[in-house]
Amino acid sequence: MGTLVMAVRSAGELPSRKMATRRFGCLTVRRFTSIMMQMILQFASWKTMVKTHAAIVLTILAFSASATAQTEVDTLIVGGHVFETSSKSFKETIAIAIKDGRLLSLDRPVSDFKAVKTIELTDEEYVLPGLIDCHAHYNVRLFKKRREEFAVMPVIYLANGITTTFSCGEFAPEEMLALRKRIESGEQIGPQLLNSGPYFGRARPGWRGKKPAEEIRDEVDFWSRQGVGGFKAKAIDPDSLKVLVEQAHQHGLTVTGHLDSGFRNSVNPRDAIELGIDRIEHFIGGDAMSDSKSAYAVLGNITRDMPEYEKAVQLFVDKNVVFDATLTAYGYPGLPKEEYDYWIDERKFFTPFVQEHVQNRKPKRPMQVFEDIYLAKQKTISAFHEAGGKLSMGTDHVSDGTYLPGFGAHRELDAFVRNGIPAVDALLIGTINGARALKIEKDYGSIENGKVADLFIVKGDPIKSIRNTRNVKTVIRAGKIYDAANLLESVRGKLGPADEDETQDW
């Protein structure tokens, strides 16, 4: 105290703020305030130096305010590790600050913030960007028909860390649009839902023959106005696909396709790429698939060292087209496998009536053609990745009462790793690659300042074992925090009809 007084008396001028910071930066706020008050009392008696002393007091007050001011945030995550997309690694978490649903800061000290809620993580917990399912289905086939399910599916997806879904082909597009609006308004819990609208092609109920080009353009315009996130073609002819792609691109929207070999006026992925399609589902096509047979008849015979396969992969790379491999989709109807074991019994989320029906129904015979495709796809996927092909993650599972696609996302990540893709690359495939494929990477797909706060927290390092993504503890969607176990418990035993009378709707 005396030092500062003597300095002012001798110099006759106000010390700079930088000097004051050096002198007082190490003091506690309480001690600093006490010193400040003593100075005020002492200087008050020196009437000849009132102006100078007042300036000193104002400087001290300003410094005190700046030293103690904190940024108010909604949520602060401290401890644990956070996945850094740019370096493809986990970093120790300093403080993840979330405000108004977005990531405010990742690298400022904890003391900079005043949080409504603080999440303290252990060294065994890891923060990941929310998963993006580019081939999600909300529909099921339990009894008589395939239909959309609106109550349980959204919660199951979210509880598994999936914060964005592209509903890749909708059987009830108007109702799916209404679901999206309920989720966006907060009326219902669920991930971000990017609608696809109806199928374009013979997969759509009621699609007959070849639609006039103008009708396709009008439909694209209509669904674009409804806010869909892209379009899905399935069992479409080449001319219709060309119109669909052109019109979707007019609206800045992407098109993906479940295509064929070119057999019977279908479209080979090779030809769809030349037409400008953005993504391809299931298989990469090319000259390995003759147009004299359907794709399913030849897919099981394709190997990674075939020149035709290598040529097809290079076309994807050259044209910057994304391949949504859906590796596990073809394994569900095949032979039993370890990778389909339950870590949480998914059957328990169906109603007791459905569970009893599934238990008592005649076992389904494994489909050998799907088994062959499943094995062939897994043997070739690493070659696609090594060549520089872009992959996204898609579950593509329509539940029959045994498995659910929300859990299937973790099986898909596991399938990538089991077949030669590094775990860290699998994480990129499930996050930022999906965001780029859907053209939403500005706001989603990675944990970066300014992006939407979509992330989930797991126990265990997913790079050491990709199956650790299954250990979901907490999910944050647009800044809102959910306990994963509580989400799952809220929908246990609720999916499907409650009794025989209700089965007519299923």
Gap between the Cα atoms of 417 and 411, Å rounded? 10
Per-residue pLDDT averaged across 393-400, rounded?
97
Q: How confident is the model at residue 364 (pLDDT cuts 50, 70, 90)?
A: confident
Query: Could you give the domains of the chain?
Result: 2-68 (no CATH), 71-123 (2.30.40.10), 128-490 (3.20.20.140)
Cβ atoms of 272 and 241 within 8 Å: the answer is yes
Q: How confident is the model at residue 64 (pLDDT cuts 50, 70, 90)?
A: very low
**CA nearest 319: which of 382, 246, 269, 386?**
269
What is the CA 301 to chain-centroid distance, rounded? 33
- Percent of the chain at pLDDT > 70 equals 87
DSSP collapsed to 3 states, 28-48: CHHHHHHHHHHHHHHHHCCHH
Gap between the Cα atoms of 269 and 283, Å rounded? 8
Q: Which two tokens stand for residue 371?
A: 């088994």
Residue 470, SS3?
helix
Q: Residues 298-349: pLDDT tens digits?
A: 999 999 999 999 999 999 999 999 999 999 999 999 888 899 999 999 999 9
Q: Residues 109-129: pLDDT tens digits?
A: 999 999 999 999 999 999 999
Residue 106 has pLDDT above 60, yes or no: yes
Residue 9 has pLDDT above 60, yes or no: no
Q: What is the pLDDT of residue 144?
A: 86
Gap between the Cα atoms of 158 and 165, Å rounded? 10
Nearby residues of 484 by Cβ (< 8 Å), 6 or more positions away: 159, 160, 161, 456, 472, 473, 474, 475
Q: Residues 208-228: pLDDT tens digits?
A: 888 999 999 999 999 999 999
Q: 14: which DSSP letter?
A: P
Which of the pair, 22 or 95, is modelled with greater confidence? 95
Q: Is the dihedral of CA 377, 382, 385, 386 positive or negative?
A: negative
**The length of the chain, given as a count of residues:** 506
